[in-house]
Chains A and B, each alone.
Chain A
Amino acid sequence: AQSVTQPDIHITVSEGASLELRCNYSYGATPYLFWYVQSPGQGLQLLLKYFSGDTLVQGIKGFEAEFKRSQSSFNLRKPSVHWSDAAEYFCAVGDNTDKLIFGTGTRLQVFP
């Protein structure tokens, strides 16, 4: 069965510092991979997606993620974090059933 693991429940960084949020998945074939962001009181917004091709994908708000098949990972990165990036981040994996399996989320806190 598919699964998604986000090992970090809570991360705190200083504004301007770099960021990497980890995501590992379990899936037999090449998955569809997604990162979503949820601001307080809001729904989930798509940051970026990987379907195929270039393993480094660019998203909105300056985020990028790299698909590494050998490590079953799809880590999210940002070179310089802004205070407005404080939110909860969800990694998700999809397959040909059209469902998404979401990780448990990583809450990002940004200090000035």
Chain B
Amino acid sequence: DAGVIQSPRHEVTEMGQEVTLRCKPISGHDYLFWYRQTMMRGLELLIYFNNNVPIDDSGMPEDRFSAKMPNASFSTLKIQPSEPRDSAVYFCASSRTRGSAKNIQYFGAGTRLSVL
């Protein structure tokens, strides 16, 4: 399996622009998680989905952030408008609830976002 695939790997944008981060989970996984990592706050869970349905979005910092999962193989995290304080590395992870590997989260390589 190719693992969790995130794109782009790096994104540089200007304040006020819309940013869309993309994630393809591992095939067969029914959970998808979005995290944000910064030096100040460490690794924060933003939102997670089960079977494409958002379960907990309490970590989403503001209304500027939104996430969707239109199907089992694709999710997006959108920031509109972006602000410099949104600069961070954003990770996507997926897991499954069945089998010997259940509850293990597999992470993508991340998207490094810089908002100027």
Contact = CB atoms under 8 A, between A and B. Distances in A.
A32 B108 CA distance: 21
Nearest to A36: B107
B105 A100 contact: yes
Max chain B C-beta neighbours (<10 A), residue from A41, A46, A94, A99 = A99
B43 A98 contact: no
Interface string A63-80: 000000000000000000
Contacts, number: 44
B48 A98 contact: yes
B95 A98 contact: yes
Specify the main secondary structure of chain B where it touches its partner. Answer: strand
Q: How large is the interface on B (under 10, 10 to 19, 20 to 34, 35 or more residues)?
A: 20 to 34
Contacts of A43: 4, 91, 93, 107-110
Nearest to A42: B109
A34 interface: yes
Chain A interface size, under 10 / 10 to 19 / 20 to 34 / 35 or more: 20 to 34
Interface of A: 32, 34, 36, 41-46, 49, 51, 90, 94, 97-100, 102, 104-105
24 contacts: A32-B103, A34-B104, A41-B109, A42-B109, A42-B110, A43-B91, A43-B107, A44-B91, A44-B105, A45-B107, A46-B104, A46-B105, A49-B104, A90-B43, A97-B56, A98-B48, A98-B50, A98-B55, A98-B97, A98-B103, A99-B56, A102-B42, A105-B42, A105-B43
